[in-house]
Every structure is written in C-alpha cells, then in structure tokens.
C-alpha cells in the first residue's frame, strides 16, 4: 500500500506549476486554445508537446507535429504522407477535438473566407440535405458527443483532467489550511466538486484514487433510529427525555432538530404528548 500523500508538500509543489509550464515553451510558441496546467507531456522518444494541446509558432504561423516535432502550415497532408495516419486518427491519438482544423490560423482564415463567398454559400444551400442530417443515428451522435466531452483537449480547457483536478483540490487545501472536505469544495470550487462527483461518485473515492487519507463518514441516522433512541431512553430512565439529555451524545439534539424540525415534534412522533396528558 502506498504511503498517504503529505498535503502541505503537495501544495508547495503546485504553486509554481503555471510558471514552469510557461517557461517550458519558447517565447514564440503558444497554445492554439486556452489550457489550464498541469498538462500531460508526451514522454521523450514517443513524441513532442502535450496530449490534448496544439502548439503554434506565432512568428511563422506553423503547427507542431506531435509525432516528429516538425512545424508545418498544415498537418493533415504531412501526417498522412510522413506517418501514414489520417487526420481523424491523429486527432484521436493525441486527444484533440475531431472538429479541430490541423492548419495554421492564416490557412484556416483563407478556407473560411473562401467557404463564405456568395457562390459557395448558394451552392451549399442547394446541396444541403437537412433530412439526412436529422437521420444520423442516435448511437453515432452519442459516440461523437462522448469523445467530444472526454478528450484531453476539452478537459485541458476546463481544468478537468486528473492532474488538473488534483491541482484544484490542492488549491482549495491551501485556502482552508487542511485537506478539504466536501463542504470546503462546494464553497470554494463548486465546479470541482461537480467534476469529482461525476467521475468518482464520492470525495472519498477521489481520495482513494489519488492516495489521500480516507475520511470516515459520520454515522447517518434514519428517522426510525432516532425515534427509537428517545423511546429507549424513556424505558431506561422512566422519564420523558429533555433536549439536555442529548447534548454531546450521538445522536445529539441538533440531529433530532435537523430531522424533525423541533424537539417537541420528535417527542410527539414517539407518542409522549399523549403520555403527558394521561399523567395529568
């Protein structure tokens, strides 16, 4: 079993990650779309750059090939001829959006200007088959959307990959000064809590996967269990319990009030209002 992570050491190690990521890029290199570090760097000898990230040289307006590191105005022809891999296969291999053009910004703008000429728009209106678009199978649309929302480019833009989730978790830890609870996450980074809940189900499962200390959940009492505690007290002590009898105990008086609205209502549900009337 791996040792639990030291939260304070991890907080310190993440504070300079933004600067490290920026300094790792050449001054003339930028990411095509906004990303949130940390990113998954492709291992040396297996490619160049980062998974789910497209790098662009701002001076020459060229994109870097993830496979060989060469810079090109367009990568579709290059990947096909040099690496025998189609544009879609390339996008999937390096976790890029399927709709992302593998061309420089200037080339993309030229294609856009050409497509938006009146002649081409008129031709598009003639050949467009709305019925065919509407009949695309539901399974195919679901498959496309599943990839669109799970590729690393999508996650990098929204700080949702596993490394980024852990980094955001540590940022909240830095704010609260301890390993954050579910309440802390909801208060300081609600979208992070939503991502953890969707991907891991519970915060403890997130902790388990990332080797943090597992927090034991507080015991949950059902209404029936709470009422049985009142009745048990009555049988043991032969008196109707008061709120003071459940201060500092488990369950405590606040648990009863949270479940039933008031202590008197809890007593009423146990039938003690009728007992009191009989004694009079």
Predicted pLDDT at 78? 92
Structure tokens at 46: 């297996």
Predicted pLDDT at 280? 43
Side by side, the strands of the sheet bearing 62-64 are 29-31, 55-57, 62-64, 71-72
* Rounded alpha-carbon distances, angstroms, from residue 30 to 24, 52, 59, 67: 11, 14, 10, 18
Architecture in CATH for domain 32-157: Orthogonal Bundle (1.10)
What are the counts of helices (DSSP H) followed by strands (DSSP E) for the chain? 17, 4
* Contact partners, residue 86, CB within 8 Å, separation at least 6: 79, 80
Predicted pLDDT at 3? 47
Predicted pLDDT at 22? 46
Predicted pLDDT at 120? 61
DSSP class of 105 = H
Segment 242-267 shows an average pLDDT of 86
Predicted pLDDT at 184? 84
CA distance 22 to 67: 22
Contact yes or no for 19/13 (Cβ under 8 A) = no
CA distance 180 to 170: 8
Three-state secondary structure call for residue 62: strand
If one compares 62 and 164, the residue with the highest pLDDT of the two is 62
Q: Model confidence at 1, in pLDDT bands (50, 70, 90)?
A: very low
Is residue 246's pLDDT more than 60?
yes
Q: Model confidence at 271, in pLDDT bands (50, 70, 90)?
A: confident
Question: How remote is the C-alpha of 115 from its chain's centroid?
Answer: 37
| pTM, entire model | 0.41
Contact yes or no for 177/221 (Cβ under 8 A) = no
CA distance 179 to 48: 35
Report which secondary-structure segment, H or E, holds 56.
strand 55-57
- State pLDDT tens for residues 116-161: 666 665 655 655 555 555 555 555 555 555 545 555 554 445 545 6
Contact yes or no for 6/178 (Cβ under 8 A) = no
Is residue 225's pLDDT more than 80?
yes
């Amino acid at each position: 079993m791996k040792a639990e992570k030291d939260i304070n050491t991890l907080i310190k190690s993440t504070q300079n990650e933004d600067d490290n990521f920026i300094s790792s890029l050449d001054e003339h290199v930028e990411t095509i779309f906004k990303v949130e570090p940390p990113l998954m760097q492709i291992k040396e000898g297996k490619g160049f750059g980062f998974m789910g990230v497209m790098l662009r040289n701002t001076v020459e307006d060229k994109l870097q090939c993830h496979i060989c590191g060469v810079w090109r105005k367009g990568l579709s022809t290059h990947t096909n001829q040099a690496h025998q891999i189609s544009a879609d296969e390339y996008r999937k291999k390096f976790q890029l959006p399927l709709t992302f053009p593998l061309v420089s910004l200037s080339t993309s703008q030229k294609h856009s200007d050409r497509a938006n000429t009146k002649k081409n728009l008129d031709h598009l209106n003639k050949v467009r088959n709305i019925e065919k678009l509407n009949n695309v199978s539901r399974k195919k649309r679901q498959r496309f959307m599943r990839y669109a929302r799970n590729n690393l480019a999508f996650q990098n833009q929204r700080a949702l990959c596993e490394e980024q989730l852990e980094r955001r978790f540590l940022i909240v830890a830095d704010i609260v000064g301890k390993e954050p609870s579910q309440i802390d996450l909801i208060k300081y980074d609600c979208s992070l809590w939503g991502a953890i809940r969707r991907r891991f189900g519970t915060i403890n499962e997130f902790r388990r996967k990332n080797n943090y200390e597992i927090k034991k959940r507080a015991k949950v009492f059902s209404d029936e269990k709470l009422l049985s505690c009142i009745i048990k007290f009555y049988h043991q002590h032969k008196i109707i319990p008061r709120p003071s009898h459940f201060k500092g105990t488990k369950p405590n008086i606040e648990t009863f009030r949270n479940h039933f609205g008031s202590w008197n209502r809890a007593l009423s549900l146990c039938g003690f209002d009728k007992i009191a009337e009989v004694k009079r």
